[in-house]
Amino acid sequence: MSLQACAAIERCKAQSSKPQPQLHQLLTPAETAVLLSLSPTTLRYWRRIGAGLAAIQIGPATFRYDLDELTTYLAEHRVTPRPR
């Protein structure tokens, strides 16, 4: 795992340990891209074509990704190797 991915995960853990109202942890496209080992451009393309992970638009050009939805997305797209 890259240093950037570790830093993003630690930042998420630190933010989630603070007492907050029942809001979901939202990640920037850059943080999401690091966790998925993708380019932010790929996330932008997925948003444009309606593929991949769902995004939350919070401004004219501002998007965020829900950490819980990211976890669910990864679990749903897990590929188990077939026995030979």
Residue whose entry in the numeric block shows the structure tokens 């797209």: 77
Q: How many domains does the chain have?
A: 1
For residue 57, being part of any structural domain is answered with yes
Domain of residue 50, CATH code:
1.10.1660
pTM of the model: 0.69
Q: What confidence tens digit (pLDDT) does each residue in 32-73 have?
A: 999 999 999 999 999 999 999 999 999 999 999 999 999 999
Radius of gyration of the chain from its Cα atoms, rounded to whole angstroms: 14
For residue 30, being part of any structural domain is answered with yes
| Euclidean distance between the first and the last CA atom of the chain, given in angstroms as a whole number | 29
- Cα separations (Å) of 53 from 18, 72, 73? 26, 10, 7
For residue 61, being part of any structural domain is answered with yes
For residue 83, being part of any structural domain is answered with no
For residue 84, being part of any structural domain is answered with no
54 is in which domain, residue-wise? 3-76
For residue 35, being part of any structural domain is answered with yes
